[in-house]
Amino acid sequence: MTDSMQTRSDFEAMRHAMVVSQLRTSAVSDPRVVTAMGDVPREGFVPPAQANVAYRDAPLPLAGGRAINAPLITGRLLTAAEIQPTDRVLLVGAAMGYAAAVLARLAGSVVALEEDPTLIAAARDAIADTKVTFVEGPLNAGSPDGAPYDVIVIDGAVESVPDAIVEQLAPGGRLTTGLVDRGVTRLALGRRTEGGFGLIDFADLDCIVLPGFARPKTFQFAR
């Protein structure tokens, strides 16, 4: 057996272990999400030096101070979003493309937004799926040219979801994200209705924090 074949076998074993020990035991209950994450080679969407820890149950650091979520976090966000085969999805924080590759197996089309030029270049190299359209731009602005979206997935934690992103969600659409609250991160699900938009927490889990989503500071008079 060649080294390359052994490496491929090792990654397949790690991917299977991720599905069994991280996803199925932790409320990633949508079989389509589990199958997609079991098929997508996560090692191809991280820096080569980190490929051997691609399936670790922890965030992986990237260049420029960024990171990608642990597999469980992405799995929980996608499960909560209840993505349908005809859905048009906006992914905010595409990084090196892992979540976009998984979404391509679940949705009708995916707009993957990333603001770091090095990361989006790597994602484009890794994904040739015609379902995925990459857009480079500020994460907190979303991608209005492709709106409205049936689902928006923010693959990281934010202090607040900007109105500009909420407005890109179709009526009845779903949005999943991480939320930062006084140093603690939680996963949340929101829906846009005629009455507005609101988020409900559904899991207290460690989630990477995305840049550009800090809540505006309130002015305080000096005493």
CATH number at residue 147: 3.40.50.150
Share of the chain above pLDDT 90, in %: 88
pTM, two decimal places: 0.92
Domain encompassing residue 144: 3-203
Burial 22-55 (b: 16+ CB within 10 A, else e): bbeebebebebbbebbbebebbbbbeeeebeebb
pLDDT the model gives residue 153: 98
Does a structural domain hold residue 31? Answer: yes
Take residue 12 and report the two structure tokens written for it: 């397949």
pLDDT at position 4 over 50 = no
Q: How many domains does the chain have?
A: 1
Does a structural domain hold residue 210? Answer: no
pLDDT confidence band for 222 (50 / 70 / 90)? low
